Amino acid sequence: MQVLINIGIVIITIALMELLSWGMHKYLFHGPLWFIHKTHHQQKHSWFEWNDLFSILFASIALWLIWLGHIALDYRFWIGTGISTYGIIYFIFHDWFIHNRFKSFKTNNRYLLKIRRAHKIHHKSMERDNAEEFGLLITEKEYK
């Protein structure tokens, strides 16, 4: 039974990270933290962008939670694991698949193409305001 609870904690954490990321992206990254996030909307000049600090922050929180809960394997460990899993999903979808930080794989999968299209729409705006589509795994509109 405990195994199912732990798996549930990881899955719920991944879902909550998508919601938290959407809200942070819309209201903080395109708000008061735009001075950091704007590097993600600009022409790339190096492999690192200041926006990567957000990923480092989330990874630090995840590792801290994993450390706090690693002896008893309590809820903190599994929440940290969920955050880390979301980070891996983010890396694969966002950095690798959408932004081609590494040679991208080709796909005809409708869901993946919809996610890529939504993110391209988000990047159509190079400014803080008037951006659309703030999620990673879920889009607000249908795209083909």
The pTM (predicted TM-score) of the whole model is 0.87
- Per-residue pLDDT, 144: 60
- Per-residue pLDDT, 143: 65
Residue 126 maps to a domain: no
Report the number of distinct structural domains present in the chain.
1
Q: In terms of Cα–Cα distance, which of 21, 54, 20, 23 is closest to 37?
A: 54
> What's the domain range around 41?
2-106
Residue 80 maps to a domain: yes
Residue 132 maps to a domain: no
- Per-residue pLDDT, 17: 97
Burial class (CB in 10 A: 0-12, 13-18, 19+), 10: buried
What's the average pLDDT block by block, 10 residues per block, for the chain (144 residues)?
96 97 92 90 78 94 98 98 96 83 78 85 76 81 67
Residue 32 maps to a domain: yes
Task: Evaluate whether 10 touches 82 at the Cβ level (below 8 Å).
Answer: yes
The 10 Å Cβ neighbour count of residue 81 is 21
Distance (Å, rounded) from C-alpha 8 to C-alpha 11? Answer: 5
- Per-residue pLDDT, 71: 97
